A and B are shown apart, each in its own frame.
Chain A
């Protein structure tokens, strides 16, 4: 089946720093989604990408749909303590219907 490699697994940064994380796939995806999960809660959708090369922002968050359609990137600028959580990428492939494939997540820790 389709697999997503998400990196890094964890990040420890200082408040105010910028953050970058990415996901790569072994196959082409039509849709890339980025979620954030707080401890003990369900994931919340941050950004959805539908076209190769698309660059979309949501406040301090920016995500890009890779031109090869096999990767996506999420950047967080000027991090703040409430950015702490687990960030997941998810992709929808050409043959998967409405099913999503999720990455393993990036655990972000922000030190004040």
Chain B
């Protein structure tokens, strides 16, 4: 089955620790995205990547870092510099250069709680 997987579903970390959220897709999509969702709010873009070895900051990149070494993978690190990291994190991917290129498909999300 083609799709996007995120792991783990729930993640707990102590204040001051870095933590990495996994995102893998087997849809052969070029572009991948990370969003943050807070209760009762919409989606805010953290980082995105349109091609391997390249990525751009979104609207709320401070305190986060990413890498894109493989087409299938786009891990997100929440660093200790992120002041309010508790949130629901969503990964998405989309094709590029084709009809439907702007249709983003989402993973199931990771809920991060800082203790």
Binding site for B on A (CB under 8 A): 1, 30-31, 33, 35, 40-45, 48, 88, 90, 92, 97-100, 102-105
Contact = CB atoms under 8 A, between A and B. Distances in A.
Interface of B: 4, 6, 31, 41-43, 45, 48, 50, 58-59, 88, 90, 92, 94, 96, 100-109, 111
Contact of A42 (B48, B50, B109): B109
Contacts of B92: 42
A85 to B, nearest CB: 13
A88 B41 CA distance: 10
A102 B43 contact: yes
Contacts of B4: 42
A98 B105 contact: no
A103 B42 contact: yes
B90 A88 contact: no
Contacts of A35: 106
18 contacts: A1-B59, A30-B102, A40-B88, A42-B90, A42-B106, A42-B108, A43-B106, A44-B106, A45-B104, A48-B103, A88-B42, A88-B43, A98-B94, A102-B42, A103-B42, A104-B41, A104-B42, A105-B41
